[in-house]
Structure 1
Amino acid sequence: MSTSADAILSARGLTKEFFGFKAVNNVDLDVREGTIHALIGPNGAGKTTVFNLLTKFLTPTEGRIVFRGKDITGVKPADVARLGLVRSFQISAVFPHLTVLDNVRVALQRKAHLGTQFWRSNRLLDRLNDEAHDLIEAVGLAAFAAHDAAELPYGRKRALEIATTLALDPPVLLFDEPMAGMGVEDIGRISDLIRRIAKGRTVVMVEHNLNVVSDLCDRVTVLARGEILAEGDYEEVSSNARVREAYMGSEDG
């Protein structure tokens, strides 16, 4: 399998078939290290299926996936996460009746080799406080550290989920529609947060909001009917006649 030299995550011939229907057909993809890479496309394009294949929540019918030079096609999702390919909002655990601080401390336990048992003593968990507060501040939740997660507005909960994911210190973060259901203010806040945390990391995201994609992403892969329609920076793909035709009637770029 030949991959781009600067790719941290690659797929070749990625295909997923459901009962004879090819939801994804022969997709080749290279995600360059240190970039924010978006997967976009109209409804039914196959972008979520590709995302689920990359994060190992689905097994490909055909094709190969390589992460940091290692073939991960047959690797389980939890093991892929341990390698540093972490899917936010699905893998991160936010407990509504724990405080923001305690949520982040729980997420830090694995990295600190403390396991994830809730009966760890406060003395042991207090060793994680400085790092937890740093993460909480990084996602803009310093004023909410003592609040229960259930009390947070929707956008702030998303920020907490990102903090718990960052606790694993992953080199690659994958976001599945991170702006879904958000108002304008929250979209701006989470966009700024993703931009900040992407420094020194690679981000892959499925996103419907094309304003977010144009503002955030270095590279964009457009999918339609399970195949790659176009790829490049946002200006390139948004001016592509085939992309405009695929989006006609569903989204305005």
Structure 2
Amino acid sequence: MAAHALETRGLTKAFGGFTAVRDVDLAVRRHAIHALIGPNGAGKTTFFNLLTKVHKPTGGRILYEGADITAESSAAIARRGIVRSFQISATFPHMSVRDNVRVALQRRLGTQYRFWQSSRSLAVLDDEAMRLLADVGLAEAAEAQAADLSYGRKRTLEIATTLALDPPLLLLDEPTQGMAIDDVDRIKRLIRRIAEGRTILMVEHNMSVVADLCDTITVLQRGEILAEGSYAEVSRDPAVRAAYLGGGHLGGTHG
């Protein structure tokens, strides 16, 4: 078994004359919560897009559980259990909360793309759907329409639909963006709970979330790794403080 769940070696992406990601060597330990942070324009979203094959790398390699997946398609990546939440996942607003999760669970019946399937045929998924909703704190809202949920609870439902795929590696793209404080605290508790037994790589601007959750933090600047370590280590790094906040304290929700 590979020492790390996910590795990139010299990963590079150029768009014409502009290099958005340059020679990034990243190693994400199995069953860790690893954050990717940096100022706007640092290359974080491009890096995620390379991992999920939205973009093809200009150079370098991507390894998952020791296997080179650089040339694999996005569908092949998903079949391996690498799932990106929030930016790609979405809910069906005019379906119930429970039915959103049942649709995500359909792959267990081999009918994941058959949206015309009779709802009666999906009843066998009710227990599993309710278990997932209970795990994320949405069981009492099972019959509500997804459109009627608050913003934070819609994000929570998106996590539930993602967890229905049972991904061993979960990529979270700005999971608390735009949330009120209460919703941020709820999502932090949820991420900590769902991290048990799986690996999480997250892009996040809220430094209180990063500080509370993450084992390792990688700081990007202009597409390159500026620093890496624990929150305490990177927050004391003068280069990080200068790049991230113009020399101020690394904290709060800035970014």
Q: TM-score, normalised by structure 1?
A: 0.95
Q: Which residue of 1 aligns with 2:48?
A: 51
Q: Which residue of 1 aligns with 2:200?
A: 203
Identity %: 62
Deviations 1:73-96 (A, max 9, x none): 111212211110000123434100
Structure 1 residue 23 corresponds to structure 2 residue 20: yes
Give the Cα–Cα distance (whole angstroms) in 2 for the partners of residues 140 and 92 of structure 1: 19
CA, structure 1 residues 99+53, in 2 after alignment: closer, same or farther (shift >3 Å)? same
The one-letter code sitting in structure 2 at the alignment partner of 1:174 is: L
Give the Cα–Cα distance (whole angstroms) in 1 for the partners of residues 96 and 247 of structure 2: 40
Q: Contact between 2:38 and 2:219, CA under 8 Å: does it hold in 1?
A: yes
Q: Secondary structure at the match of 1:28?
A: strand
Q: Which residue of 1 aligns with 2:180?
A: 183
Give the Cα–Cα distance (whole angstroms) in 1 for the partners of residues 173 and 6 of structure 2: 16
Q: Which residue of 1 aligns with 2:224?
A: 227
1:82-97 mapped onto 2 (5 Å cutoff): 82-97=79-94
Q: Contact between 1:55 and 1:80, CA under 8 Å: does it hold in 2?
A: yes
The one-letter code sitting in structure 1 at the alignment partner of 2:78 is: A
CA, structure 1 residues 96+194, in 2 after alignment: closer, same or farther (shift >3 Å)? same
Q: Contact between 2:238 and 2:247, CA under 8 Å: does it hold in 1?
A: no
Structure 1 residue 246 corresponds to structure 2 residue 243: yes
Aligned pair partner of 1:66 in 55, 63, 81: 63
Structure 1 stretches of 4+ with a deviation exceeding 3 A read 249-252
Give the Cα–Cα distance (whole angstroms) in 2 for the partners of residues 112 and 80 of structure 1: 21
Give the Cα–Cα distance (whole angstroms) in 2 for the partners of residues 189 and 250 of structure 1: 31
What 5-or-longer segments of structure 1 have no aligned partner? none
Q: Contact between 1:91 and 1:165, CA under 8 Å: does it hold in 2?
A: no
Aligned pair partner of 1:134 in 114, 118, 131: 131
Deviations 1:193-224 (A, max 9, x none): 01100010000000001111000100000011
Q: Secondary structure at the match of 1:140?
A: coil
Q: CA deviation at 1:111?
A: 2.6
Q: Which residue of 1 aligns with 2:115?
A: 118
Q: Which residue of 1 aligns with 2:253?
A: none
Aligned pair partner of 1:102 in 89, 99, 102: 99
Q: Which residue of 2 aligns with 1:161?
A: 158
Give the Cα–Cα distance (whole angstroms) in 1 for the partners of residues 92 and 248 of structure 2: 35
Q: Secondary structure at the match of 1:22?
A: strand
Q: Secondary structure at the match of 2:109?
A: coil
Q: CA deviation at 1:228?
A: 0.3
Q: Secondary structure at the match of 1:111?
A: helix
Give the Cα–Cα distance (whole angstroms) in 1 for the partners of residues 154 and 169 of structure 2: 21
Q: CA deviation at 1:252?
A: 4.1
159-168 or 104-113, which moves further after superposition? 104-113
Give the Cα–Cα distance (whole angstroms) in 2 for the partners of residues 81 and 246 of structure 1: 34
50-59 or 25-34, which moves further after superposition? 50-59
Q: Contact between 1:16 and 1:22, CA under 8 Å: does it hold in 2?
A: yes
What 5-or-longer segments of structure 2 have no aligned partner? 251-255
Give the Cα–Cα distance (whole angstroms) in 2 for the partners of residues 136 and 142 of structure 1: 5
Q: Contact between 2:132 and 2:160, CA under 8 Å: does it hold in 1?
A: yes
Q: Which residue of 1 aligns with 2:33?
A: 36
Aligned length: 250
Q: Which residue of 1 aligns with 2:73?
A: 76
CA, structure 1 residues 248+118, in 2 after alignment: closer, same or farther (shift >3 Å)? closer
178-187 or 113-122, which moves further after superposition? 113-122
CA, structure 1 residues 43+122, in 2 after alignment: closer, same or farther (shift >3 Å)? closer
Deviations 1:45-66 (A, max 9, x none): 1111111111221111000001
